[in-house]
Copies of this chain bind each other. A is one copy, B any other.
Amino acid sequence: MKAYKDLDRAELEQLHEGLLKEYAAWKEMGLSLNMARGKPSDEQLQISKGMMTILGDVDLVAADGTDVRNYGVLDGIPEAKRLMGDLMGVKASQTIIFGNSSLNAMYDTVARAYMFGIMGSVPWCRLDHVKFLCPVPGYDRHFGIISQFGFEMIPIPMNEDGPDMDLVEKYVNHDPYVKGIWCVPLYSNPTGIVYSDETVRRFARLKPAAKDFRIFWDNAYAIHHLYPGKEMKLLNIMDECEKAGNPDIVYQFASTSKITFPGSGIAAISASENNIKDILSHLIWQTIGYDKINQFRHVRFFGDIEGMRRHMVRHADILRPKFDGILDLFDQELKDLGIAEWTRPYGGYFISFDAMEGCAKKIVSKCREAGVVMTAAGATFPNGVDPKDSNIRIAPSFPPLDEIITAAKLFITCVKLVTVEKLLEK
């Protein structure tokens, strides 16, 4: 296959004609597939089925004697704090178990800072201006929280080893209005990249101009590896912050949404003991406690973090062929054409695809027209605007393998078609 840039106009026109036919054939198939959201598939949900009945013949009493069926316990039962602490690489005492969603825990954490401030600082609602750094491409719902609060979003380019740390340091260390940064440090959403040790250390060594600056460390894919034996390692941010004399600078988030059931898992925050104390001093007015039965259900289902890791291998076995299938197709069909780049992640839920500039929206729209829903182009950028209109987030998890392959083939046709049309415009 020749690279598209080496084709002359006549060749491009001929190609276009073929692609139009191909696309028309796709449309006739009447597909209805969804690659928009990082949702586990039915097959994945099945492996947690045992949770439904695991509390059938069990004394519903936590390790400290708490009746998990009744009121009480603001920060979570001890064994759930241990389990989620292990997941995040922190002590149980640095962990609070939240409700069913880490997104909700993140939103509430921003809301708490907005309403009451952090560890005695001025509430953000009293400030003229609040800025958040947003590595791009990134997770649309992180940006959504920030836009809801009306904060300024400053895009930070992502490199292969994490966000552009020169830029991060420039902002954080000099601008007191910069109050936070969103990070998905392991198998980043959507690029799949992993922050290097150096990146993590530079985060830990930040010298924020604002004492209420926090790193929002969304460790969403902490144990969500795709290739057993090739697990990527992430340096422990809390340890590094501690070493750097910066223990209070980070809030870490995690959940079991993609381990057990999305929306019916348990979420957790970990942070320094100062931060934990600060959070609890406000949380005590918000709730008497989160769902302890569901915490207990998780603990009984997994036993410990090793049980959870074994469970994740089963997820990987289901997900891996989907990622491999798409990536192999991209290699076969697109690699030589010089019209796109994409990531080959070792974990997480996404493939990040960069089309030729100005093509992403059209590709997504052509896919939709033929029955395949992709994440909206631009969604991975603040305010939904990708300045290059190039990035597309691919979520291979939800449809069954054969459908994913079909959808990927259609996607490839759309990429080629839109790119050729773009080239013909010139």
Contacts and interface: CB of A to CB of B under 8 A. Distances in A.
A39 interface: yes
A55 interface: yes
Contacts of A116: 148
Given A52-B53, A67-B42, A100 B99 contact: yes
A131 interface: no
A39 B70 contact: yes
B264 A294 contact: yes
Nearest to A107: B286
Contacts of A111: 111, 115
A229 interface: no
A126 B196 CA distance: 42
A287 interface: yes
A291 B264 contact: yes
A263 interface: yes
Oligomer: number of copies: 2
Contacts of A294: 264, 291, 294
A290 interface: yes
A290 to B, nearest CB: 6
B292 A263 contact: yes
Contact of A115 (B45, B144, B149): B149
A189 interface: no
**Which of A115, A123, A286, A294 is most buried by chain B, counting CB atoms within 10 A of its CB?**
A286
A70 B45 contact: yes
B70 A263 contact: yes
Interface in A26-56: 37, 39-40, 42, 45, 48, 52-53, 55-56
Nearest to A50: B56
A293 B289 CA distance: 19
Contact of A53 (B39, B56, B73, B289): B56
Interface of A: 37, 39-40, 42, 45, 48, 52-53, 55-56, 67-73, 99-101, 103-104, 107-108, 111, 114-116, 123, 125-126, 141, 144-145, 147-149, 257, 261-264, 282, 285-294
- Across the A-B interface, the 8 shortest Cβ-Cβ residue pairs: A264-B293, A148-B285, A71-B262, A53-B56, A104-B287, A125-B125, A52-B55, A100-B291
Given A115-B115, A263-B291, A264-B293, 19 more contacts: A39-B70, A48-B69, A56-B56, A70-B263, A71-B263, A99-B291, A100-B290, A101-B289, A103-B286, A103-B288, A104-B287, A111-B111, A125-B126, A141-B285, A141-B288, A144-B285, A148-B285, A263-B293, A291-B291
